[in-house]
Structure 1
Amino acid sequence: MSAQAPAGAAPAAGLKKFLPLIGAVAIWGGNWPVMKLGLAHVSPLWFAALRFGSAALISVVVLGALRRLRLPTRQEWPLVVSVGLLQMGAFTALALWALQYVAPGRASVVAYATAIWVIPLSALVLGERPSRLQWLATAFSYAGIAVIVAPALGGWELHTVMGLTMLLGASLAWSVSIIHLRAHRAVRLGADMIPWECAVATVPLLLLALFRDGTPDLGAMADIWPVILYTGPLATALTFIVVLNVTQSLPPAATSIAMLGVPLLGLLLSAVAWHERISADLSIGLALIGLGVITTALAPRLGKLAASR
């Protein structure tokens, strides 16, 4: 007679699979108020360069210790460059610059709204035919962004408008990287590519920081070393390694919905750390964007259910 699993063992095992992803979401959510703290000491470009430079170093050490360090192949290099320049470098530089004008909670919500770009770009660039549910998800996301951006446009607060425009540019940069990866689905980038992606992001950021801001204040950098350790080695290198390993074993819908926790947690922590007011427009906008993410994630499953009837 085979031994039966104890009651509750299956749910506990299922929860264990999600724990690393939950931890990553918590770290990324906390990254937004932490980045705001770092910007009080160094420029956005230097902050971004320090973030990815430190992440590149620690990921080399970690993957080297795991004996998983290797150079990208010829097929992987274009995707590595795309992720490094767009998803990491451009996204972070624009987001950090925007944090000078937009509160971190609101900034995290707008920056993570990649759905406003991904589905239209998929149709335009990849020739995909999104379902009605996917277009509905995009409409929810557009409505959410409109609700969040409208107050700034109504009062024409120039700095806030600039910040929100940068955040939309950051989400666009990430979305273009997503489209590039989807166009080359035969090539999958694993955690062993993170050192090279971070290095690709670091080089242009470092050159831009030197050209625009000059030599950094070493004293200021010494003051924010805990912030750099959080944003670089922890919130970039180690978290990306964990997320890439975990998401390959989880359904895409679960991952997409879980990632919605990043701006939500960023908003809540920003309210505590920076006394950011969670206004009605921000709450409604986040809810609409969240509805868009959930609709996108569940669209394939709902489509199959409809077709089977």
Structure 2
Amino acid sequence: MQAQQGWRRFIPLACAVAIWGGNWPVMKLGLTHVSPLWFAAARFVSAAAISFLVLGAFRRLRLPTRQEWPLVIGVGLLQMAAFTALALWALQYVPPGRASVIAYATSVWVIPLSSLVLKERLSRPQWIATGLSYAGIALMIAPAVRDWQLHTAVGLVMLLGASLAWSLSIIQLRANRTVRLGADMIPWETAVASVPLVVLALLRDGAPHFLEVPQIWPLLFYTGPLATALTFIVVLNMTQALPPAATSIAMLCVPLIGLVVSAVAFQERISADLSAGLALIALGVATSALAPWLGRRLQWRGA
């Protein structure tokens, strides 16, 4: 019975990971109807609206405290607005499967930044994990650089920028570990993300005429209320309830699902370089997640 209950704990996280993985092909499809900036803006405006309504209905809506506001702004601008805008722009040039793998490779930034910014002393397994992640990214970027496909190279740089934006948000959260953001901050984070995206979309693309296109509404519902408001609430709650190693490895399934769905929906070829790069990044994530256990094993053997 206990084993069954333990297994059931992972069901909400598995559902959220599946929704996020499917979001990459959905975003690619949405770009046939709307510009990247308006798609990103619509995603967070709709997510903010639904999360305000849901948390208000459950009487869980509250203003952020003075300590929470800097983190709410950081998550909204970096993890949500910058990450999504750059990723959507890159999807114009890079297939969604490959894009999801590169964008989610935050370990290439988080581990070295933890050492440089937070002055954390990193273990040997963590540095090995960083090296594996860099090798994986290099394998997936190499074809575009070798053949000098300018648009693809620009898209890959944007994806690395998206990954960096998310990583900076992670570093900010790590630097303020005494302040924990719960699901009740999702409405404010999505609202913060919405403001610059709407302003930039209006300045660059004009009025949102895409709202007159019937085909865009199901895609907006998927990316906004479902893949943003609901999944962020689930992932935040599960991150606090489950071991870090479990959530780190589970999040690796997001690009894997995105890759599989993209292969089916867009006939994206899962090439040898893409498979090898994903395998190296997966090994890096697993090594990083298991670093504390590996460190104790190395110390034990040394003794």
Match of 2:228 in 1: 236
After superposition, residues 66-145 of structure 1 pair within 5 angstroms as: 66-145=58-137
Q: CA deviation at 1:10?
A: 2.0
Give, as a single letter, the amino acid of the residue that structure 1 aligns with 2:43: R
Q: Distance in 1 between matches of 2:134 and 2:258?
A: 20
Match of 1:55 in 2: 47
Q: Over residues 18-72 of structure 1, what are the superposed CA-to-partner deviations in whole Å (9 max), with x where a residue is unaligned?
A: 0000000000000000000100000000000000000001011111122111000
Match of 2:294 in 1: 302
Match of 2:252 in 1: 260
Q: Over residues 165-204 of structure 1, what are the superposed CA-to-partner deviations in whole Å (9 max), with x where a residue is unaligned?
A: 0000000000001000100000000000000000000000
List alignment gaps of at least 5 residues for structure 2.
none
Match of 1:37 in 2: 29
Give the 3 Å change call, closer, same or farther, for CA 72–21 of structure 1 in structure 2.
same
Q: CA deviation at 1:222?
A: 3.4
Match of 1:4 in 2: none
List alignment gaps of at least 5 residues for structure 1.
1-8
Which of 189, 193, 196 in structure 1 is aligned with 2:185?
A: 193
**Contact residue 87 and residue 177 of structure 1 kept, 8 A:** yes
Match of 1:167 in 2: 159
Q: Aligned-residue CA RMSD in angstroms?
A: 0.9
My pick for the range that moved more, 121-130 or 40-49, is: 121-130
**Contact residue 42 and residue 221 of structure 1 kept, 8 A:** no
Give, as a single letter, the amino acid of the residue that structure 2 aligns with 1:243: V
Q: Distance in 1 between matches of 2:84 and 2:200?
A: 13
Which of 126, 149, 152 in structure 1 is aligned with 2:141?
A: 149
Give, as a single letter, the amino acid of the residue that structure 2 aligns with 1:289: I
My pick for the range that moved more, 235-244 or 87-96, is: 235-244
Matched, 1:17 2:9: yes
Give, as a single letter, the amino acid of the residue that structure 2 aligns with 1:156: W
**Contact residue 256 and residue 293 of structure 1 kept, 8 A:** yes
Q: Distance in 2 between matches of 1:192 and 1:18?
A: 21
Q: CA deviation at 1:220?
A: 4.8
**Contact residue 41 and residue 220 of structure 1 kept, 8 A:** no
SS of the residue corresponding to residue 267 of structure 2 reads coil
Which of 147, 150, 156 in structure 2 is aligned with 1:158?
A: 150
Give, as a single letter, the amino acid of the residue that structure 1 aligns with 2:257: L
Match of 1:209 in 2: 201
**Contact residue 74 and residue 172 of structure 2 kept, 8 A:** yes
Give, as a single letter, the amino acid of the residue that structure 2 aligns with 1:160: T
- Number of residues paired by the alignment? 301
Which of 147, 172, 185 in structure 2 is aligned with 1:180?
A: 172
